Amino acid sequence: MAQQARSPRRLEIRQQKVTLILQAAEKVFAEAGFGGATMQLIADLADLPKANLHYYFATKEDLYRRVVQNIFEIWLHAAEVMDNALGPVEGIGAYIDAKMEISRAHPDGSKLWAYEVMHGAPVIQDYLETTLRDWTTGRAALIQRWIDQGKMRPVNPEHLLYMLWATTQHYADFGHQVETLNGGKPLSDRQWREAKEQVKTTILRGIGAI
Amino acid sequence: MAQQARSPRRLEIRQQKVTLILQAAEKVFAEAGFGGATMQLIADLADLPKANLHYYFATKEDLYRRVVQNIFEIWLHAAEVMDNALGPVEGIGAYIDAKMEISRAHPDGSKLWAYEVMHGAPVIQDYLETTLRDWTTGRAALIQRWIDQGKMRPVNPEHLLYMLWATTQHYADFGHQVETLNGGKPLSDRQWREAKEQVKTTILRGIGAI
DNA sequence: TCGTTTCCTGACCGTATGGTCAAGGGAAAG
DNA sequence: CTTTCCCTTGACCATACGGTCAGGAAACGA
């Protein structure tokens, strides 16, 4: 009954394929939504037979769940830059930088997260209620400490966090709109830098941190 | 061959039903996405036989297109408050107010717009390239004028507009997340007012308008 | 080499979906 | 009243989808 240990080679191949499938799935789910995505599309993108997907992931929901969980962990991990900061300029500035980088490097993940939340978070509701709520409470307390120390104006920390999320994720979630308004061309390095700086400056000035 | 004029009574009934269908469709499309929505769900919500939907809207795409176009026009119309303003405090302040109101009153429309843009705007790409681009260019020029008049700090007007869109629409698109982090309860009147004020204050201070 | 476990996949199945249609109901026009 | 046209709808169809499975290939351990 005990699960037999897999050989290293087997394990490696398994992990490679799982990763390949997850990458293809992230893209397809982000582009089409859960309902619009099909296992066949994901299989084609990963260049695998559809049945092979079902060998690694029992159902479409399972696959979707794994993709969303992956994204969530990347985000949580990237948010650690805010801790250990001496004040809002350093902490919030670094957080904005990190989130803008993610928006640029992983737009599909950001879109998928937006898609999931927009539809009532059917899959990751428990994460919202536990991990994300704890994280938010902790950072809100940190911001409140900065306020008490006179390092920034008194604001509602939750709403400030929403502003950070909204402004940074916008460049991923609405990237197509931004690109269209940019003459159909993706933002250049310079434009990304400008966007990042303007978001940071505006918010940090807005909360009286600079 | 000419379209025969319809009687007033017929026209009225027709319009009522079309509106009913559009409302049901907006909700279902927003909740499930285009792929996840089904004509049967929309029909059930509108309390009509499915075949009746196809009498008024030939295909699912047609219905979706009409819904998205409706939303777009509401948005454009609401944006007029920005014109005729004497400066950024009045103009941008009123625009934020208007957009926050829309986020609260029409979250489904906002979500559907987000959904459409996130998926590459397959239906309203031409609107983005014409109407929205023109609108954006005009408001960017307005903001630039305010900058030239020394009424606010020099910022990139486009990125400022993105910040306005992002922060206000966040309360609709990510309303479920906001609600979950609010203890599972929707924002109260007081909290909405607080959110609106904080967004306005932070941005207007951030751009040096106050 | 041989038996065992893991992995792979073409063919298949039940279901649900978008869309069609023909027949009927009912208001307006004559 | 009769005719015409718009509207309504239950029944139906073809397709595409998620998921299954049996049988074979490949890798592993002894």
Tens of pLDDT along B181-202? 999 999 999 999 999 999 999 9
Judged by C1' against the alpha carbon of B14, the nearest nucleotide is D7
Which of the four pLDDT bands, split at 50, 70 and 90, describes residue B1? very low
Fold of B8-57: Arc Repressor Mutant, subunit A (1.10.10)
pLDDT at A1: 33
Chain centroid to CA B131? 14
The one-letter code for the residue type at A57 is: F
* B33 closest CB neighbour out of A33, A125, A156: A33
What average pLDDT does chain B have?
94
Kindly give the interhelix angle for A157-173 and A88-105, rounded to the nearest 10 degrees. Answer: 30
Question: Chain A within 8 Å of B37 (Cβ-Cβ)?
Answer: yes
pLDDT at A131: 94
Which one of B202, B204, B210 makes the best mutation probe of the A interface by having the most chain A beta carbons within 10 Å? B202
Fold of A67-206: Tetracycline Repressor; domain 2 (1.10.357)
pLDDT at A206: 98
Please answer whether residues B35 and A35 qualify as being in contact, where contact means their C-beta atoms are separated by less than 8 angstroms. Answer: yes
Single out the residue of A13, A29, A10 nearest to residue A69, CA to CA: A29
Q: What percentage of residues in chain A have a pLDDT greater than 90?
A: 87
Query: How many angstroms separate the CA atoms of A173 and B172, rounded?
Result: 14
- Token pair 């690109």 is at which residue? A179
Tokens representing residue A62 in the block: 């399972």
Cβ partners under 8 Å of residue B209, min gap 6: B87, B88, B89, B92, B151, B152
* CATH class of segment(s) B68-206: mainly alpha
pLDDT at B128: 94
Which of the four pLDDT bands, split at 50, 70 and 90, describes residue A11? confident
pLDDT at B121 over 70: yes
pLDDT at B148: 98
Q: Which residues of B touch A165 (CB under 8 A)?
A: 170, 174
Query: How many angstroms separate the CA atoms of B164 and B203, rounded?
Result: 8
- The answer for A 48-77 residues in CB contact with B (under 8 A) is none
DSSP state of B82: G
Ordered DSSP codes for B46-71: HTS-HHHHHHHSSSHHHHHHHHHHHH
Cβ partners under 8 Å of residue B135, min gap 6: B76, B79
pLDDT at A98: 95
Q: What percentage of residues in chain B have a pLDDT greater than 90?
A: 87
Judged by C1' against the alpha carbon of B9, the nearest nucleotide is C27
Give pLDDT tens digits for A28-45.
999 999 999 999 999 999
pLDDT at A155: 98
Give pLDDT tens digits for B70-115.
999 888 887 888 988 999 999 999 999 999 999 999 999 999 999 9
Q: Domain spans of chain A?
A: 8-57, 67-206
Q: Which residues of B touch A120 (CB under 8 A)?
A: 31, 176
pLDDT at B77: 85
pLDDT at A2: 35
